[in-house]
Amino acid sequence: MARYSILSLARNALTGHRDWPELWRSPEPKPAYDVVIVGGGGHGLATAYYLAKEHGVTDVAVVEKGWLAGGNIARNTTIIRSNYLWDESAAIYEHGLKLWEGLSRELNFNVMLRQRGVMNLAHTEHDVRESIRRVNANRLNGVDAEWLDAEGVKAFCPTISISPDVRYPVLGATLQRRGGVARHDAVAWGYARGADARGVDIVQHCEVTGIRQVRGRVTGVETSRGFIGARKVALVAAGHSSVLAEMAGLRLPVESHPLQAMVSEPLKPVLDCVVMSNAVHVYISQSDKGELVLGAGIDSFNSYGQRGGLHVLEDQLAALMQLFPAFSRARLLRSWGGIVDVCPDASPIVSKTPVEGLYINCGWGTGGFKATPSSGWTFAHTIARDEPHKLNAPFALDRFTSGALIDEHGAAAVAH
């Protein structure tokens, strides 16, 4: 892998930047691999990277039915934080945030992490109590968290309205200063480049159509480009997880829904933090290009359509107008949808399955982007060792049978 540096920049400037190497190869799939990862999104690529780097497993293919990083990694609102309520969640998301903090250096690729601070607003007495409870829980788990009253919110984010003359006035907020945003494409590309350099084959436009098993053990995947043998198969397909699991005869506690987002025209710098509100329900940040990036809740119905209803966008814009009346003149550029795989407890599944050699990583729902590093890191461990790391052991598929759910509907901050 050609390392990026000030020297390589200067060297390539001399040749007019025409000779930069490709970030990854596009090999034909081999007949068989140790591990086939199904899904070339952020989590799949991170899994491949950590398999190669942390566990020395390099005979790996990532097969992707579309193009690399064209799904949810390209469609999210890039918010990163780790302020979840329960110990299990705080541990896995905080591990992820620590990985984020070193990621640009580790990958030699600028993921443009901007730790601007994430505020989760409280609008009712109940919100206030829950928020302070979460701040306390976060601190006990070593996650940075602060409680701000309404004046504190205004001081941290002068653009916001804390007027009491609205139905749901801002009463305060939790603040995680280490939270922020990153450049979503760069994360996928950086992991892909790093995995490729360690020998991982990234095979795009290769749709898995079947999972072959012999006596309860995985032997490979049928694809649109022929059979690919594998000792281990790892499913990381977000919204399409149920479709893949069914190929292996598994039912999942997951439902797929559209989650929409949108951006405004680029504006001068006006918002230098991330603001999220459960109660009036919108989340917003400003991208480096100046666009306001907005999102909120899922569309209610099951869908694989990567689009949703306009009324869902209208609801979040109404919320935005209450919080930021100044943005009423901003014009929207575009909106889009992604398909998120939602679990009943709003927590993910990073797990072995009843089929030997088959692993699944899904159910990240509306909040998977922030978890990209820790999802890949723990899933790689699970695949390489054939047992979960202690960070993802609580996120096993069998928690729905044992009843040990991890209810994060509050901290997920997105209505489902």
Partner 1 sequence: MMRIECPWCGGRDETEFHYGGEAHIARPEDPDALSDEAWADYLFMRANPRGVHAERWMHAQGCRQWFNVLRHTASHEVVAVYPMGAPRPDHPETAA
Q: How many residues does the chain have?
A: 416
Q: What's the CA gap between 391 and 393, in Å, rounded?
A: 6
Applying CB under 8 A, does 254 fall inside the site for partner 1? yes
**Span interacting with partner 1, options 196-204, 276-284, 294-302, 371-379, rule CB under 8 A:** 294-302
The Cα 222–Cα 359 span in angstroms is 17
Contacting residue, 15, 22, 215, 401, with partner 1 by CB under 8 A = 401
Instruction: Tell me: does residue 67 bind partner 1 (CB under 8 A).
Output: no
> How many residues lie near partner 1 (CB under 8 A)?
23
- Which of 205, 206, 208 minimizes the C-alpha distance to 240? 208
Which one among 74, 128, 243, 317 touches partner 1, defined by CB under 8 A?
243
Which segment (9-17, 229-237, 305-313, 324-332) binds partner 1 by CB under 8 A?
A: 305-313
In this complex, which beta carbon is closest to partner 1, that of residue 328 or of residue 402? Answer: 402
Distance CA 162, CA 150 (A): 7
Determine the interface stretch with partner 1 among 162-170, 287-295, 309-317, 324-332 (rule: CB under 8 A): 309-317
**Closest CB to partner 1 among 328 and 401?**
401
Phi and psi at 145, nearest 5°, equal: -155, 145
Q: Which is nearer to partner 1, 251 or 329 (CB)?
A: 251
Using CB under 8 A as the binding rule, whether residue 304 contacts partner 1 is answered as yes
CB contact set of 252 (below 8 Å; sequence gap of 6+): 241, 242, 245, 349, 360, 362, 363, 397
Is the Cβ–Cβ distance between 370 and 82 less than 8 Å?
yes
- Residue 296's contacts (CB-CB under 8 Å, 6 or more residues apart) are 260, 281, 282, 283, 312, 315, 316, 319, 414, 415
> What φ, ψ does residue 63 adopt, rounded to 5°?
-105, 135
Given a contact cutoff of 8 angstroms between Cβ atoms, the answer to whether 153 and 170 are in contact is yes
Q: Which is nearer to partner 1, 4 or 400 (CB)?
A: 400
Report, in Å, the least distance between residue 25 CB and partner 1.
31
- Binding-residue pattern over the window 152 to 191 for partner 1, x denoting contact by CB under 8 A: ----------------------------------------
Q: Of 14-22, 47-55, 241-249, 376-384, which segment contacts partner 1 by CB under 8 A?
A: 241-249
Q: Closer CB to partner 1, residue 17 or residue 251?
A: 251
